[in-house]
Amino acid sequence: MTSTKNRTLSRADAGAMIGFCISGALIAAYITVMSVIRIVELARGVDVPVLVEFVPSTTGIDLPLSRGGSIAAGLDSATITAPELPAIAAVPGIIGQVLQIITIVVVIGCLILLSRSVLTGRVFSRRNTALVSTAGITGLVGFAGVRFFDNMLANATVARITDNGVDNAIISVEPFAFILAAFVIALISTVFSIGDRLQRDTEGLV
């Protein structure tokens, strides 16, 4: 004899989950609107601000002191304004923003569906495991892709504005953060998978 009886959350827990869902929807809507605005700005291609990263060891500036004189400093990043953005820079920028919208919508959508399942008292299931894995993998790959396309935008902008006079724009990679995020996602997915199996085994004994 098996039982599929689900546990009921307290009102406080249910309220917290509902609040989480509403907050997630608002975040997705906000980021989508901001990304659309950025897409329009990139497509227009006039006076576009672009964040650029540099190699600090080769890019230096002199910071003026209040008492006079200056001090040398390394330049990590700066926002430059492109009077006219070339298509080779605008296209990767637009792709990055579209990818950001898709990533945010998928990740938050999966988490909202997961929260909805938890609200019904079902925490561990194959569906919930799939939702967690989908959200994690999409977020990991999606945000890495956004970073990649944003760097393409920055590098192409620097090359156009300086006429290839600055050769230190970079495509930054953070392997430790990427590996750590992948480990956390794999751990959470494993926990949900084991929890689902244990729950099914427990229900089979009831």
Report which DSSP code applies to 52: E
Measured CA to CA, the distance from residue 65 to residue 72 in angstroms comes to 11
Measured CA to CA, the distance from residue 133 to residue 111 in angstroms comes to 10
Q: What pLDDT score was predicted for residue 1?
A: 40
% of the chain exceeding 90 in pLDDT = 20
Q: Are 85 and 52 in contact (CB under 8 A)?
A: no
Q: 32-46, 95-109, 172-186: lowest mean pLDDT where?
A: 172-186
When pLDDT is averaged across residues 30-46 and rounded to a whole number, the result is 94
- How does residue 199 score in pLDDT terms, banded at 50, 70 and 90? low
In this predicted model, which residue has the larger pLDDT, 190 or 52?
Answer: 52
Q: Are 117 and 181 in contact (CB under 8 A)?
A: no
Look up residue 133 and give its two tokens. Answer: 């894995």
What's the one-letter identity of residue 163? D
Asked whether the whole model's pTM tops 0.85, one would answer no
Place of tokens 């989480």: 20
Q: What pLDDT score was predicted for residue 204?
A: 56
Domain boundaries, the chain: 11-49+86-205
Write the pLDDT tens digit of every residue in 59-114: 667 777 777 777 877 777 778 888 888 889 899 999 999 999 999 999 999 888 88
Residue-averaged pLDDT of the chain: 79
Query: Comparing C-alpha atoms, which of 131, 101, 105, 104 is closest to residue 117?
Result: 131
User: Over the Cα atoms of the chain, what is R_g?
Assistant: 23
- How does residue 18 score in pLDDT terms, banded at 50, 70 and 90? confident
Query: Which run of H or E residues covers position 51?
Result: strand 46-53
Write the pLDDT tens digit of every residue in 120-129: 777 777 888 8
